[in-house]
Amino acid sequence: MSLLDAVPPAPPESAALSPARPSPQTLDLLALRRSQKLMLIGAPGPTDEELEALLRLAGRVPDHGKLGPWRFAIIAGEARERLGAALADLIAGDATMDAARLEAERRRFLQAPVCVMVVSTAAPHPKIPEWEQVLSAGAACFALLVAAHAAGYAGVWLTEWPAYDDRAREVLRLGPGERVAGFVHLGTATQDALERVRADVASRTSRF
Ligand SMILES: Cc1cc2nc3c(=O)[nH]c(=O)nc-3n(C[C@H](O)[C@H](O)[C@H](O)COP(=O)(O)O)c2cc1C
Q: What is the largest CA-CA distance in the chain?
A: 59
CA 116 / ligand 1 centre spacing (Å) = 14
- DSSP summary character for residue 201: S
- Is 170 among the domain residues? yes
- Is 118 among the domain residues? yes
Q: What mean pLDDT do residues 81-98 have?
A: 95
CA 15 / ligand 1 centre spacing (Å) = 36
| 1 confidence band (pLDDT: 50, 70, 90) | low
Cis peptide preceding 44, ω within 30 of 0: yes
Cα(172)–Cα(75) distance, rounded to whole angstroms?
A: 10
Give which of 198, 190, 178 is closest to 43, Cα–Cα.
190
Question: Is 61 near ligand 1, meaning CB less than 6 Å away?
Answer: no
Give residue 5's pLDDT: 84
For 40-147, strand residue ranges (E) read 41-42, 70-76, 114-120
Domain containing residue 153: CATH number: 3.40.109.10
Q: What mean pLDDT do residues 134-143 have?
A: 98
Q: What mean pLDDT do residues 15-41 have?
A: 97
Structural domains of the chain, count: 1
- Is 151 among the domain residues? yes
- Is 116 among the domain residues? yes
Question: Is 133 near ligand 1, meaning CB less than 6 Å away?
Answer: no
Question: Is 34 near ligand 1, meaning CB less than 6 Å away?
Answer: yes
Q: Where does residue 18 rank: exposed (0-12), middle (13-18), buried (19+ CB within 10 A)?
A: exposed
Nearest-CA residue for ligand 1 atom 17 is 157
Structural domain span for residue 147: 34-76+109-191
